[in-house]
Every structure is written in structure tokens, then in C-alpha cells.
């Protein structure tokens, strides 16, 4: 005899399936879910004040934990608020299990004020969407959602939970469903790629997804060292392992101009765990595809396949006796003087703690970051996979909850920070070890650059004004303190170094507001 309601069967099944963190911003239709948290103590509910924080945290959590968190969202508007960071999660192939409360089934016909087409909004994420029709199905739907989220290469799974399915009695838990594991790349493909690498013609090997972790990077480095192929990592990896003792694989540039330079002269582009690169945006008179004209694209492995194993299989053929080239330890000197685009990254490179997780949304201010941190102690870098800004602070929340013993360093630009700023409050509430460094240049600096790059006719004062966010200046020290996060301001490299050192050493969140000059 079951004594569970739908919400209880849902939470119990999620926990049994390994999902034991739920980032939440609930409303009335989710109240039975909230009440059920007390009956399943293994589930940790983490409150956020805005849904973009909820979904970004779930993205960051899974990128680090390697398994999904759940979200709890309130009808269509809640999903809408969370959509931008779910877009980034989708592009990262991050497994996420959304639970979205909806009106009771019988109530939907009345078109109450909060009624909207949740299914259609969720459908745009091109993941998995299901609506629980009955209380007794909720457990099975939850297990299916967890499996769907984790089916290789990972996706956003959305379970829409009508209030009456949640509050109804007769909930049944469901055994975990094993997700689809990555497919092995066949030997013929491996052989063909080996042949390309041995062709004697210029080759680039572009790796992404899970190939950006240690095993894939080592195999990539061996292949490059043995064959002379140029090794590149995708522009925006979900999680890139790097630092001293790991191969340092250069990332493909964000700007098409950079990428074209990196790929110049190649005749073959091998892709593994990613696709042939395209320009982030279109620009008048510029091609969308970044692969040089006339070069052939060869797919070693798609994101849903076992990319690292495929690279290792290729390495076994072409680089059997070759070791990977590993980055030596080395840090920049601690700089001095007023903050510049160069010296702030040198401070980070000089002081980056062991085993850090860098959440990078520094945008234009971070151009020099990869070089400055290349020889720092081993660390992970999480990047903005989908281009929807406002990902950094929430992802830092999730990363810190997934890895409570690792320091999380969120390098954040001022414009991007303001989309999801209330993530700071959750960092304070959960006492997370996140050090946020806000690069405050009072501008949408990337748009100043883009205004020129798209060849926009005229850059008059009214256009420029719309890219200037320094009227009034944002004071991130006050904003952070207002949400319970201790904060300081740095205008020199010395101040930044001293404040960064202290922030990393002290438990709990800290923010440093860094006055950095704009790139343009």
C-alpha cells in the first residue's frame, strides 16, 4: 500500500536515480514538491531568487559533478526566466532535469492568469519533454527524465508536473533507468583518420566535449606530436582541464579572424566531439564556415560517441611510442601598477589556488587569460557554451555545490554579471567558496568591438551611448554587500593580489570589483 503523494514519489525516485540536489525557485503550483522535501531528507533544496540562477546552477553542477541536478521552476514564466541558461546547458550537452510545476490538469481549461504553453517553450531546447498525466506515473516519468538527461552526450530533460499529479495520493517510486552510454567509434573510421594524419598534408585536429578532459587531451597531444597535426580545442568547451602537467591545447579563437589564422593552410580538418567550426555571428561579406576553402572535414567522433577512446585508438595507430607534451609549471610574476587588461590576468595566474574551478565570463577583459594561467596548478575552466550571457555567477553556484572542497573562481564581466546578479545571494546563503572577480569596465565592450566588426554604418553618439553602462557606474561592492557577500574594490594590481589572496583563503563567498580599462 503506497503512502506517497506524487511529489514524494518524484523526489524519492530522483534521489534513487542519483539526483540529490534541486535548485529551486518555487511558486504555488510547486508547494507540494516543497512540502515533500521534508519526507526525503537526502534531497538538498537550494533556493535561488531568480530562475536564471536556478538553471545556471544546474548547468554548473553537472559540468563538475558529472551527473544532473534537478531544477524546480514555476510554470511558463519560470521556465522563460531560466531559458537562457538552459540554452547554454543545451550547447554544453549538460544533463539537467527540469521539474516545472503546472496548473492542475482540470484547471488548465480555464486559462488562469499564469497559464501558458510550457510544452512549446521547453520544446525549443531540443531535449526531452514529458508531461506527467497521473500521480501513479510521476515516479516512472522522473526516472525516465534522469535517464534522458544523461543519454550520451547529455541534454536538458523537462518534466512538467501538474499540481494534481503532484498532490494526488498513489505515487509509485521507480527504479533507476540506465542511460544510453557513448557509442564506440568503429575501427574503419579510426583507420581512415589515421590515414589522413599520415597523408603528409597539413592537418588540424579540433577536439571538443569530453575530449577536453585529461584522457582526450593526452591522446590529442600524442597525435599532434607524432604527426605534426595542429591540435586545437573547441572555442567554448563545457569543461576544459588544463594547467601544469596536462597538455596545453590551444582553443580556437572566438573571432573569425583569429580562427581563420589558426586554420590557415590546412588541407584536412579532423573533428572529435565537436563539429566543423562556424562563425559565432555572420558578418557582411564574410563566410560563415571557418574551415578553409578546399579543406576536407573528417569526423572522428560526434559528441554522443566515446571521443576520448576514439582519440586513444587513433593515437595507438599513429603515435604508439609518443608521449604527450605536458605543460610545465610556471606562473607570471606578480605585477604592479594600475589595473590593465594584461596585469589582472597575471595576478590570477600568479595566485590561482590548487585544483581551482575557473568559471570564465570575462569576455573581452579575459583575452590574455589563457596564457597567464597555462602553467598554473591544474584546474578546470568552464566557458560560455551557448553565448547567452549571465551564465557565470549561477554556474559558479552549481560548481561550488558540486565540489565543496575546490575553490571556485568566477571571472565575470560587469555587463554579464547584471543578468543574474542575485546568484550572489545564494552564494552567501549556502556559504559557497566562490571568489568573484568582476572586470568592471563600464561598458558592453564586446559590443563596441562588434559595432565596428559588423561594419555598422555610423557609430554616432546615440549608438555609442547604448553600449556604455557607466552612466551611472555600477558599484559591485555595494551590490554584493547588499546580498550578503563581503566585497572589496581593486584599482591596482597590488590591491587585486592582496584581496584575491585573502578571498581565496577565507571560507565563503567574496567579490572583488576590479576597475579595468575597456579593451576599446
- Touching a second copy, residues 129-188 (CB under 8 A): 163-164, 167
- With a CB cutoff of 8 Å and minimum separation 6, the contacts of 418 are 390, 469, 474
Nearer to a second copy, 248 or 291 (CB): 291
Nearer to a second copy, 66 or 470 (CB): 470
Nearer to a second copy, 431 or 491 (CB): 431
HEC string for 88-110 = HHHHHCCCEEEEEEECCHHHHHH
CB contact at 8 A, 97 and 70: yes
Least distance to a second copy, CB of residue 95, Å: 19
DSSP 8-state class, residue 28:
G
| C-alpha cell of residue 97 | 532535469
Instruction: List, as one string, the DSSP characters of 148-179.
Output: HHHSTT--EEEEEEEHHHHH-B--------PP
Using CB under 8 A, which residues numbered 372 to 391 contact a second copy? 385-388, 390
Task: Specify the DSSP element, H or E, that contains 485.
Answer: none
Q: Is 258 exposed, middle or buried (0-12, 13-18, 19+ CB in 10 A)?
A: middle
Q: Pattern of binders to a second copy over 324-363, x per CB under 8 A? A: ----------------------------------------
Nearer to a second copy, 243 or 415 (CB): 415
| C-alpha cell of residue 150 | 544523461
Q: Pattern of binders to a second copy over 16-55, x per CB under 8 A? A: --------x-xxxx-xx-xxxxxx-x---x-x-xx-x---
Least distance to a second copy, CB of residue 401, Å: 15
Place of cell 522522473: 142
Using CB under 8 A, which residues numbered 90 to 109 contact a second copy? 91, 103-104, 106-107
How far apart are the C-alpha atoms of 323 and 320, rounded to whole Å? 8
Bond from prior residue into 472 cis (ω within 30 degrees of 0): yes
Nearer to a second copy, 444 or 500 (CB): 444
Judged by CB under 8 A, the residue of 61, 128, 236, 344 near a second copy is 236
Gap between the terminal Cα atoms of the chain = 68
How far apart are the C-alpha atoms of 15 and 141, rounded to whole Å? 14
Judged by CB under 8 A, the residue of 76, 243, 304, 349 near a second copy is 76
Query: How many residues touch a second copy (CB under 8 A)?
Result: 103
Least distance to a second copy, CB of residue 266, Å: 19
Nearer to a second copy, 45 or 517 (CB): 45
Using CB under 8 A, which residues numbered 423 to 462 contact a second copy? 425, 428-429, 446-447, 450-451, 453-462
Least distance to a second copy, CB of residue 252, Å: 12
Nearer to a second copy, 47 or 225 (CB): 47
Using CB under 8 A, which residues numbered 237 to 296 contact a second copy? 278-282, 284, 288-289
Q: Pattern of binders to a second copy over 456-495, x per CB under 8 A? A: xxxxxxxx-xxx-x-xxxxxxxxxxxxxx-----------
How far apart are the C-alpha atoms of 374 and 372, rounded to whole Å? 6
Least distance to a second copy, CB of residue 152, Å: 19
Nearer to a second copy, 106 or 261 (CB): 106
* Total Cβ atoms within 10 A of residue 106: 10
Task: Give the CA radius of gyration of the chain.
Answer: 24
Q: Three-class SS of residue 331? A: coil
| C-alpha cell of residue 130 | 514529458
- With a CB cutoff of 8 Å and minimum separation 6, the contacts of 122 are 79, 98, 100, 129, 158, 160
Using CB under 8 A, which residues numbered 2 to 21 contact a second copy? 5
Judged by CB under 8 A, the residue of 19, 84, 308, 359 near a second copy is 84
Least distance to a second copy, CB of residue 153, Å: 15
Least distance to a second copy, CB of residue 67, Å: 22
Q: Does 110 bind a second copy (CB under 8 A)?
A: yes
Judged by CB under 8 A, the residue of 18, 66, 123, 330 near a second copy is 123
Q: Does 507 bind a second copy (CB under 8 A)?
A: no
- With a CB cutoff of 8 Å and minimum separation 6, the contacts of 16 are 143, 173, 174, 175, 176
Amino acid at each position: 500500500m503506497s503512502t506517497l503523494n506524487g511529489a514524494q514519489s518524484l523526489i524519492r525516485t530522483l534521489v534513487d536515480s542519483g539526483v540529490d540536489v534541486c535548485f529551486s525557485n518555487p511558486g504555488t503550483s510547486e508547494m507540494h514538491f516543497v512540502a515533500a522535501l521534508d519526507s526525503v531528507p537526502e534531497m538538498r533544496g537550494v533556493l535561488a531568487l531568480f530562475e536564471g540562477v536556478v538553471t545556471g546552477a544546474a548547468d554548473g553542477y553537472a559540468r563538475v559533478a558529472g551527473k544532473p541536478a534537478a531544477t524546480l521552476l514555476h510554470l511558463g514564466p519560470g521556465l522563460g526566466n531560466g531559458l537562457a541558461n538552459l540554452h547554454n546547458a543545451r550547447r554544453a550537452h549538460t544533463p539537467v532535469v527540469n521539474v516545472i510545476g503546472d496548473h492542475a490538469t482540470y484547471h488548465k481549461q480555464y486559462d488562469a492568469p499564469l497559464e501558458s504553453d510550457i510544452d512549446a517553450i521547453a520544446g525549443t531546447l531540443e531535449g526531452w519533454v514529458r508531461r506527467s498525466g497521473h500521480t501513479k506515473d510521476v515516479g516512472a516519468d522522473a526516472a525516465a527524465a534522469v535517464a534522458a538527461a544523461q543519454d550520451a552526450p547529455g541534454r536538458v530533460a523537462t518534466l512538467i508536473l501538474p499540481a494534481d499529479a503532484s498532490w494526488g495520493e498513489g505515487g509509485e517510486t521507480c527504479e533507476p533507468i540506465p542511460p544510453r552510454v557513448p557509442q564506440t567509434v568503429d575501427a574503419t573510421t579510426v583507420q581512415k583518420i589515421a590515414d589522413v594524419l599520415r597523408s603528409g598534408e597539413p592537418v588540424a585536429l579540433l577536439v571538443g566535449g569530453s575530449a577536453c578532459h585529461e584522457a582526450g587531451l593526452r591522446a590529442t597531444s600524442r597525435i599532434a606530436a607524432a604527426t605534426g597535426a595542429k591540435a586545437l580545442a573547441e572555442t567554448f568547451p563545457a569543461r576544459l582541464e588544463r594547467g601544469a602537467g596536462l597538455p596545453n591545447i590551444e582553443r580556437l579563437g572566438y573571432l573569425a579572424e583569429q580562427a581563420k589564422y589558426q586554420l590557415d593552410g590546412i588541407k584536412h580538418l579532423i573533428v572529435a566531439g565537436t563539429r566543423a567550426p562556424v562563425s559565432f555571428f555572420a558578418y557582411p561579406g564574410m563566410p560563415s564556415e571557418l574551415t578553409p576553402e578546399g579543406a576536407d572535414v573528417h569526423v572522428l567522433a560526434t559528441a554522443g560517441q566515446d571521443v576520448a577512446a576514439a582519440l586513444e585508438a587513433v593515437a595507438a595507430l599513429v603515435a604508439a611510442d609518443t608521449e604527450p607534451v605536458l605543460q610545465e609549471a610556471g606562473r607570471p610574476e606578480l605585477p604592479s601598477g594600475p589595473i590593465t587588461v594584461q596585469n589582472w590576468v597575471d595576478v590570477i595566474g600568479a595566485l590561482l589556488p590548487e585544483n581551482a574551478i575557473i568559471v570564465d565570463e570575462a569576455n573581452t577583459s579575459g583575452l590574455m587569460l589563457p596564457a597567464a594561467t597555462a602553467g598554473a596548478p591544474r584546474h578546470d575552466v568552464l566557458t560560455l557554451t551557448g553565448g547567452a550571457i549571465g551564465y557565470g555567477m549561477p554556474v559558479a553556484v552549481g560548481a561550488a555545490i558540486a565540489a565543496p572542497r575546490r575553490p571556485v573562481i568566477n571571472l565575470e564581466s560587469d555587463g554579464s554579471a547584471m543578468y543574474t546578479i542575485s546568484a550572489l545571494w545564494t552564494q552567501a546563503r549556502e556559504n559557497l567558496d566562490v571568489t568573484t572577480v568582476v572586470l568592471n569596465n563600464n561598458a558592453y565592450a564586446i559590443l563596441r568591438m562588434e559595432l565596428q566588426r559588423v561594419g555598422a554604418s555610423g557609430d554616432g553618439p546615440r549608438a555609442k551611448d547604448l553600449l556604455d553602462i557607466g552612466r551611472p557606474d555600477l558599484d559591485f561592492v555595494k551590490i554584493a554587500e547588499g546580498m550578503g557577500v563581503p566585497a572589496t574594490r581593486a584599482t591596482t594590481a597590488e590591491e587585486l593580489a592582496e584581496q584575491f589572496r585573502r578571498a581565496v583563503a577565507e571560507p565563503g563567498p567574496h567579490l572583488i570589483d576590479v576597475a579595468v580599462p575597456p579593451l576599446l
